[in-house]
Amino acid sequence: MRFQNITLLGTSHIAAQSIASIEQVFRTNAPEMICLELDRERFHALLHGHREGPKLRDIKHIGWKGYLFAKLGHWAEHQLGSSVGIQPGEEMLTAYRLAKTHHSKIALIDQPIRITLRRLHIPWKERFRFVWDILRSPFAKKARFDLSTVPSTDVINGLLREVQAHYPSIYRTLIEERDIYMAKKLHALSVSYPTSSILAIVGAGHVPGIMRYIRMYADREYF
């Protein structure tokens, strides 16, 4: 999806297709700037192979709720990644390495993970539903889509609607607020580098929201 000099490439963090798509972009026409859905802390951990997830000492920064949520999410993502033979975050590492090879600028555009987790306020109903869904997910008989590919736009939109309906607090903090944050960063980069081609690599679920807010900022409606 494109707007002005920004191209959004939606990925799945455990899909081989995501890695292939990024490699294809660089073979065709290497962008002058790569923006990654990472903050400094997660980028450093990914770059140095620290994939063990949050530690107990992190509780003082993100609280118990943030710690438990991150721990469950990390476990689920790695379980799914193991099923397709892809470590979560491989597409971000691929983009980083290709950017270095092609001398593209690199920008980290996501909200700091500690801020995101500290802002999580999950009602008990959402907590129980989330834990239940996480625990039963490895035993589901049928996947709604092939985990080795990026879901279609229709599937993504359907999943976003379900998350918003069943987990409104989680949706607001993990998706909507981060969409706004990343859209602001991308719009600022677009203004600062108006003649550069900018490729933003983000989870596919963030593409619709980020694009919506970028258009708003470009129209000056929310300034």
Please report the pLDDT score of residue 96 as a whole number: 96
Position 190 confidence tier, pLDDT thresholds 50, 70, 90: very high
Per-residue pLDDT reduced to its tens digit, 8-34: 999 987 678 899 999 999 999 899 999
pLDDT at 141 over 70: no
Which residues are within 8 A (CB) of 113 and not within 5 positions of it... i.e. 6 or more apart? Answer: 39, 41, 42, 62, 70
Residue type, 118: R
Identify the top-confidence range among 41-45, 81-85, 119-123: 41-45
Q: What is the pLDDT of residues 75-87, one digit of tens each?
A: 556 555 455 556 7
pTM for the whole structure: 0.81
Note the pLDDT of residue 175. Answer: 93
Cβ contact 8:202 at 8 Å: yes
Distance CA 11, CA 9 (A): 6
Average pLDDT, the chain: 82
| Whole-angstrom distance, CA of residue 195 vs CA of residue 38 | 24
Q: pLDDT band at residue 132, thresholds of 50, 70 and 90?
A: confident
